[in-house]
Amino acid sequence: MRKRGGSEVIRITGARQGLADDVRGRQRRYIISMTVRTLSVIAAAVLWNVERHVAVVALALGILLPYVAVVIANAGRESTPSLPSTFVPAPVRPALASDTAPEGQGEGPSSGRN
């Protein structure tokens, strides 16, 4: 369907990713970060009596990662591409110029002709 009156046309290569694909990607990133968090908490529990300083780092990672994962998941969609590379100006159609009025027009009763 063609929209009339628009002055700019969007190139399909500059279109954003679909909403379903964007949500799916954010869900995938969240699941991956939560898996890393779970593994770090398990590593902290296993290493607590063996390597305490490694266990503390793993526990800190397990505590901080949920916040980072939520911020990344809720970051929203990617920004729109820059205007010059995305938009193509619509073709300009020249208007028909009318230099003189057709014969018989423009002469009223006050022109002196009867």
> How much helix, strand and coil, in percent to the nearest 5, is found in the chain?
55, 5, 40
Mean pLDDT of the chain: 74
Sign, CA torsion 101/102/105/110: positive
Report pLDDT for 103: 59
- What residues form DSSP beta bridges with 74? none
The pair of three-digit structure tokens given for residue 43, joined into one six-digit string: 């590593």
Instruction: Kindly report the pTM of this predicted structure.
Output: 0.52
Q: Does the pLDDT at position 65 exceed 60?
A: yes
Write down the domain spans for the chain.
Answer: 19-78
